[in-house]
Amino acid sequence: MSNAVTGSFTAVGEAQEPHAVGLRRAVGIWGSFSWGYADVGADVYVALGLVVAAAQGLAPMAFALTGMIYMFIGLAYTELAAAYPVAGGGHYYTLRGLGDLLGFTAGWALLLDFTIDVSLFALASAGYINFFFPFLNGRVTLPIFGPIQLWLMIEAIVLVVFLIVLNLRGIRESSTLNSLTSAVDMFNESVIIVVGFLFAFSPNLLFAQFQTQAPDTYHFFYGASIAIISFVGLESISQAAEETLRPASIVPRTSLALIFTVLIYALSFSTLGLGMVLDPSKPSWQVISENVGDPVAVLAHHIPFLGFIAGPFTALLAATLVYASANTGVMGYSRITWSMSKFRLLPGWFKEVHAEYRTPYRTILVFSGVALLQIILASLSGQAYDTLGNMYAFGAVTGYILVLISLIRLRMTDPYTPRPYKVPGNFHIMHKGERVEIPIMAFVGLAGNVFIWVLVVLTHSIGRIAGPLWLLIGWGIFFYFRRRENLPLLHSIPRHWESEQMHVLNEAQEYEYLAQYREALKRRDQRLGVARDGADASEGQQKEQTSASDETKGIKH
């Protein structure tokens, strides 16, 4: 994942309005797309080798199966990010739709992904660097643990430490650099795909691998569940929404473009890889699986006419893009923990900022420490990439399931918020006197994600242990904090979401949708016989209460 834009957490000062806590909106349409692409677009560089190693000759089918489910998730995030353009992502949507405990659960599950994002993508960046230094991929035999890629582990640790230093000091790459990197990468991937299909692709070879190199059922479904890595990063769409100008119009366009772009690339690379002769003595999938650390670079290296330059260039570009993706994990710590602390789901200790650098140093150190531990433990397992990918899917799918349920519930409990984009395929029901639309695709996506979650539990021996253990640790922190602060354990803190939504739309300069929202609330109040003046007074009082409880120091990146 990559932090493609600039932005800063804003302190609540004496001269500010009660709700003036947020991120600076400075991202246009290309910035929004490149934020998401640098995030999700980097994932195929890591996932390709892992999925092909498991699904073998049926790898394109594994990508297609997961890609269909990914589309439903992407459409849900598109609707929610456009309707509620704030940072916090899946945790915020779940908080609004399902309450505090499940909102925390979604956020904590996605925090697991942020830590694995750092560890896995730091390893992947080191792997692509080692395209130029293949001897560093060699294994060293250690007592008890056996042969491990020691030098690769050390490289990844150094890369993460460098990210920690950068983020502690508040240094981040510019939006222009990330936008340029995304543009160059899209051009490079497109050239590889077009030239590869024109001059190196053999349909007969592809179909032969379908027929003769198919894995058993277990490994196919394992590969399909690993393929979710190609599409993890949808959180970036929502995280960027609070920093996007006019998100109601920009977010749907960039999100939909991103969904289909990434899906096309994932399917194209897996299909092209199996339809090329990479080594006459081996099936193509086996060659890719033997180069799990830099699969796209190996593929590019075998492209006719361009391979001598495409391979090294792709390796260099991939190392940069994947490393930038790891940096988003570190940035994700501050965004999601800040939001969770703001809504009193996590202790305020996590959002304390450094006196000099004004960065959330505690969050950065704690969760980067988790990422470093993951690198070491995964490397000692002898299969670092596979071990981390094994855990990655659990957190993502758990969060996605809660987000899809929240989408359905928010359609029922909050039919008044304007939705610039709606998941297609709806039917109408009456709920508490209101005519609401229920998204059929959300139910289909929910069923698909539950299916993937079951696959993860059944086929991921590490994920089914480490994932639930991570949730148990989080729930322990949540219940301890809430009991200490005399807050409800299983119930939600009363919040005035209408006031929150008015502030969000006003701050985003979505005045047309703000007017629609107020008109919808007015019609509801007239139907219920509620005096609007009283409601407005309640909103003002709630703003003061929210300001007092949410006041925090500024965070700068």
**Per-residue pLDDT, 243:** 65
Q: What mean pLDDT is predicted for residues 152-162?
A: 94
Q: Residue 537 above 50 pLDDT?
A: no
> Is residue 16 a part of any domain in this protein?
no
> Is residue 539 a part of any domain in this protein?
yes
> What is the distance between the terminal CA atoms of the chain, rounded to a whole angstrom?
16
CA distance linking residue 323 with residue 177, whole number of Å? 14
Name which residue leads in pLDDT, 22 or 288.
Answer: 288
CATH number for position 539: 1.20.1740.10
Name which residue leads in pLDDT, 555 or 127.
Answer: 127
> Is residue 9 a part of any domain in this protein?
no
Number of domains the chain contains: 1
467, 395 contact by CB (below 8 A) = yes
Chain segment 180-204, per-residue pLDDT in tens: 777 888 888 888 999 999 999 999 9
Instruction: List Cα–Cα distances, 489 to 20, 140, 346, in angstroms.
Output: 29, 49, 12
> Is residue 418 a part of any domain in this protein?
no
CA atoms within 13 A on the CB side of 427: 5
Of 41-55, 523-537, 540-554, least confident by mean pLDDT is 540-554
Question: The domain containing residue 530 runs over which residues?
Answer: 29-411+440-550
Name which residue leads in pLDDT, 87 or 256.
Answer: 256
Chain segment 261-276, per-residue pLDDT in tens: 888 888 999 999 999 9
CA distance linking residue 48 with residue 266, whole number of Å? 8
Residue 245 sits at φ, ψ, to 5 deg, of -70, 135
> Is residue 162 a part of any domain in this protein?
yes
Of 63-67, 474-478, 551-555, least confident by mean pLDDT is 551-555
> Is residue 17 a part of any domain in this protein?
no
> Is residue 251 a part of any domain in this protein?
yes
Chain segment 395-448, per-residue pLDDT in tens: 888 999 999 999 999 999 999 999 999 999 999 888 887 888 999 999 999 999
The pLDDT > 90 percentage for the chain reads 37
Q: How confident is the model at residue 277 (pLDDT cuts 50, 70, 90)?
A: confident
Instruction: Report the SS3 class of residue 423.
Output: coil
Q: In angstroms, how far is CA 420 from the centroid of its own chain?
A: 22
Chain segment 22-55, per-residue pLDDT in tens: 445 555 666 667 666 766 777 788 889 999 999 9
- Picking from 176, 175, 158, the residue whose alpha carbon sits closest to that of residue 166 is 158
Q: Residue 461 above 60 pLDDT?
A: yes
Q: What mean pLDDT is predicted for residues 133-144?
A: 87
Q: CB-based burial of residue 547 (10 Å sphere; 0-12 exposed, 13-18 middle, 19+ buried)?
A: middle
**Per-residue pLDDT, 550:** 42
**Per-residue pLDDT, 179:** 67
- For 488: left if phi > 0, alpha if psi spans -120 to 50, otherwise beta; the answer is beta
- For 146: left if phi > 0, alpha if psi spans -120 to 50, otherwise beta; the answer is left
Residue 141 sits at φ, ψ, to 5 deg, of -85, 125
Output the average pLDDT for the chain. 82
